[in-house]
Every structure is written in C-alpha cells, then in structure tokens.
Amino acid sequence: MPTKPCLNCGTYLTGNFCSFCGQKDLPAKETFRSLFGQFLGGILNYDSALVKTMARLFGAPGKLSTDYLKGQRARYIHPVRLYLFISALFFLSLNYVFTPLEKSLESASQFDQMGQNTSTEKEVPIDIKWGEDQNKVDSYQAFLAQQDSLPAAKKASALEHIVVKQFFKVNTAYPDDADMSEVLLDQAVQMIPQLLFVLLPLLALVNRLVFFRRKKFWYMDHAVFVLHLATSLFITLWLIRWVDYGELAHGWVGWSWISNSLTLLWLGFYLISFTRFYELSWKPSLALWIWVGLWHSILLAIGLGAVLVLSFLWI
C-alpha cells in the first residue's frame, strides 16, 4: 500500500522508485555517505556505458547505430551525449595537452638554436592595390587617405574597410606568412567541433536525399548514423594528434606511417559502417559511399572556408 509521497512530484510511492517521475525514495536530508555513493555510482555507470558504447562502435562498425534504432538504448550512451563528450574531450586535449606540449618542444628547439640567428625581427610592410587604376598602399592609414581622395562611387564599402583593416593588423602581428598560417590553422582546428555540430543536420540531409527511396529510414535515423560517424572521426583525430606529438618529440619517420594508417583505417571503418547500416552489397555500397562522401566533402570544404575567414577576422 502507498505509504508516503514522492519528494519530487508528490505521487504516492508503491516501491523504491516513483512510478510517475522515476525518482528514488531517498530522505530529504542526505548523508555524506549517500551523496558520495551516488556520485561514485554515477561515474562507474557512465564509465561502464562508455566502454560498452566504444566497444560496439569500433568492434562492430555500423551496428551501434542499428542497435539504437532497434530500441537498445539503455546500455549505450545517447548519440548526442556521446558526440558532445568526445568532441569536448578532443577540444580540451587540444588546448590543454597537445598545444602546450608542442609549444614546449618548439621552445626547447629554439633555445638550442639561440645564437645561430642574429637577425632582428622587423615589421615587413606589405602593399595592397585597391581597384584597377589606383596606387598601392602600404598601411591602413594610407588606405584611408586614398579613400578620402576618391569619388563616392569608387569608395570601399564598410565590409571592405573591415577586411583591409584586419589585413594590415594581421600582417603587422605576423610578418612571417608561416606564423600567420599556423595561427589560422590552429584556430580553425579548434572550431572543428562547433563546425561539425552545425553541419551535422546538413550531412544527415544528404544521406536522406540519397536514400530517399528507403522508407524504413527516417531523417533522424540518418542523423544518428552521422553522429556516430562524427564521434569515431574525433577519436581518430585525437589518436592522430598523439602520433603527431610523438613525431615532433622523437623525430622517428615511422610516426608518419602510423598517422597515415590511422586515416586509412578510419576510411575503411566508414565504408564498412555505411555498408552495414544501409544494408547494401559491396558494389553499390562503394559507389553510393563515394557519392555521399563527395557531397559531405563539399559541405565540409564550404564550412572550413567559412571557419578560416572567421579565424582571420578574429586574430
């Protein structure tokens, strides 16, 4: 018989858990032992689910998405939560592990080479030509002075002013093109998790359009598959970053071979997952895989271009 109400929703309890909201029957005043036990249990349960999810993701390519669509969801981590966790791990590792380690190695290398280069750094002026019949300018102030002398029809727009100002700002801060390229690339890599998360709906839409005759697959089914695929990509990129650090630290030529092998292994994993999830034979699967990959690559290229532009504007 019901004895007391649930402290969360007020429904009378018939067991250890509320039949309406699912909260466990716990005292309002928790002890430290109870609180710590729940914290530890949550970590262990998450770790257990993470191990099972990772084992299924890589041990049986494509089957994790299939299991989720069949309703087997309690034993695995939700696709969105898994993606967010892995992408956050990649992002944190990139900023607080890989980048500091690489900078430490580069600083040590520069220290070893001190005294070999006695040249001093100088600001390298750069010319920019605005318009077909206008003189070159070598600073933003010169550009503004030039604009004042032009008729209204030939003056630059507000957006063009921003681009030119940022151009000279970046050139002053990074006179060496290699340094500027490295900074742009680093910022672009850091924005990849956000980029993929924004593009995921479009990537799933490509799959939906390619397989529009497969009525058993809803749009969200394709989204689940793309989420699991993106998760596997981040894990592969994470491993490749460790390999790149090993190459930087030890200089062994075999590191590049390992990095290339990981890339090829992921492509093979992608093809097998694609074939199994969409229940295709190998010949049509390969053709459709290339076709889908082409459109995915186009979307990613557009996204990366936008990221590079934003990175340039935010330096």
76 and 213 in a common domain: yes
Q: Report pLDDT digits (tens) over 136-154.
A: 667 778 888 888 887 888 7
314 phi and psi angles, rounded to 5 deg: -100, 0
Q: Look at 16-25, 121-130, 163-172, 284-293 and tell me which has the smallest mean pLDDT.
A: 121-130
Residues of the chain with pLDDT > 90: what percent? 29
Domain extent, residue 161, equals 128-174
200 and 78 in a common domain: yes
DSSP string, 55-122: HHHHHSTTHHHHHHHTT--SSS--HHHHHHHHHHHHHHHIIIIIHHHHHHHHHHHHHHTTTT--PPP-
Last residue of a domain, one of 174, 206, 232: 174
**Average pLDDT rounded to a whole number, residues 301-310:** 82
pLDDT reading at 294 higher than 90: yes
Q: Report pLDDT digits (tens) over 173-229.
A: 666 665 666 666 776 666 777 787 889 999 999 999 999 988 899 999 999 999 999
Judge whether 235 lies within some domain.
yes
**DSSP SS3 for 135:** coil
Q: Is the pTM of this model over 0.75?
A: no
Judge whether 30 lies within some domain.
yes
Number of domains in the chain: 3
271 and 187 in a common domain: yes
158 and 274 in a common domain: no
228 and 302 in a common domain: yes
**Average pLDDT rounded to a whole number, residues 68-83:** 89
219 and 279 in a common domain: yes
166 and 190 in a common domain: no
205 and 153 in a common domain: no
pLDDT score recorded for residue 119: 46
Q: Look at 79-83, 122-126, 236-240, 246-250 and tell me which has the smallest mean pLDDT.
A: 122-126
pLDDT confidence band for 157 (50 / 70 / 90): confident
**Average pLDDT rounded to a whole number, residues 233-254:** 81
298 and 232 in a common domain: yes
